[in-house]
Amino acid sequence: MDSNLQSKLTRRQLDIIGTARASGTARIGELARDMGVSLETIRRDIRPLVESGLVVKQHGAVRLATDEAEAPFEQRLRENAREKLAIAQHVADMISDHDSVMMDTGTTTSILARALLRKSGLTIVTNSSDIARTLATVNGNNVYMAGGQLHGDNGAAFGRSAIEFISNFSVHHAVISIAAVDAVNGLLDHHLEEAEFARNVLQCGRQRTVITDHTKFSRTALVKVCDFDEFDLLVTDERPTPEVVEKLTAASTRFEVAHPASR
């Protein structure tokens, strides 16, 4: 956003843009309610934002215009959102108050962090600034974030120092998300540093859980994270392919299906 234009916006208008950026769209009625003003006031706030090209109106809501496009990680958060939410809620039901949980960075683990907001007294260990920000300073949680070089896309820390940091912990639940599940090559990721970190997360948990939506069963990636016998449970939103089920069964690794809510 142009700095001169930003300086002319009111606090409410900045909040409207922030809400649209965080949620993808911002419904006008909800904006009025959350900000404690009338619908007409919100519409007056939105009008110059539309005229200046910052937001676009659609069906009682506003979204950011193309030149205010969200970061790739935020875009991926909204891909298969229903499925990821079902997976996150399923895994959250397995976690009790006061449990310790280690999570790597990923869109599904970020959604899991939000599902864990209904828990209290958790100890969280992560390399994700999004997960740390979501769960820190609420519900009596203790949050430990690994340090290291931050990845520009997802704001997560990687490298040897991050791996050494998490190796100090032994947690109830180690949870990773994954880029691809291949019946021949196992669990895969696109980047070496993310695969290395995820592999080490699994070594720190007494219950080792992999979470991924069904689209990852038709994908491949460059770097191997682990084999099917190196984790305890796969949680997804559809039954895996027969080939993957065969490999899971041979490895004595369970899978559970979290069915998304009906639209």
pLDDT confidence band for 262 (50 / 70 / 90): low
Is 240 or 147 the better-scoring residue by pLDDT? 240
The residue with greater pLDDT, 69 or 44, is 44
pLDDT over 90 at 75, yes or no: no
**Mean pLDDT, rounded, for 13-17:** 86
Residue of 145, 98, 101, 99 whose CA lies nearest to 126: 145
Residue 224: pLDDT band by 50, 70, 90 thresholds? very high
Q: Domains of the chain by range and CATH?
A: 3-69 (1.10.10.10), 76-257 (3.40.50.1360)
Does this model's pTM top 0.85? My answer is no
- Which single residue is written with the structure tokens 């390399």? 127
Q: Give the gyration radius of the chain's Cα atoms.
A: 20
Position 164 pLDDT exceeds 90: yes
Sign of CA dihedral 10, 11, 13, 14: positive
